[in-house]
Amino acid sequence: MLNELLKGHEIIPVCPEVMGGLSVPRIPCEIIGDKVIGKDGNDYTYPYQLGAKKALEIAKKEKITLAILKKRSPSCGASLVYDGTFTKRLVIKDGIFARELKELNVLILEA
């Protein structure tokens, strides 16, 4: 089904978290209020916001209409993300990049 959906479309891979300067692998992070906090207690809000901004610039330039995003991610989760307690509890909320894409009316699928 996914192959059929993507047929005839250009695929542009981006990772907002890497684009914001975060490493692979990286410290697990969750959204708490309007901040992105790592399991180590540090505030990672700035790299997450920077990465979302850079990825959004690409999305706008390329006029994307569909995005396949990583579910539950503080960047890419669409509708459900972890609640900030690092207990795998979910809350209804969008990740930073997903929220920006929704404002552009981009269709989001989660993987």
- pLDDT tens sequence across 48-65: 999 999 999 999 999 999
Integer Cα distance of 45 and 29 in angstroms:
10
Query: Residue 19 burial (CB < 10 Å; 0-12/13-18/19+)?
Result: buried
- The pTM of this model reads 0.92
Residue 50 neighbours by CB under 8 Å, 6+ apart: 19, 20, 21
* pLDDT tens profile 54-97: 999 999 999 999 999 999 999 999 999 999 999 999 999 999 99
Could you say which DSSP state residue 72 is in? B
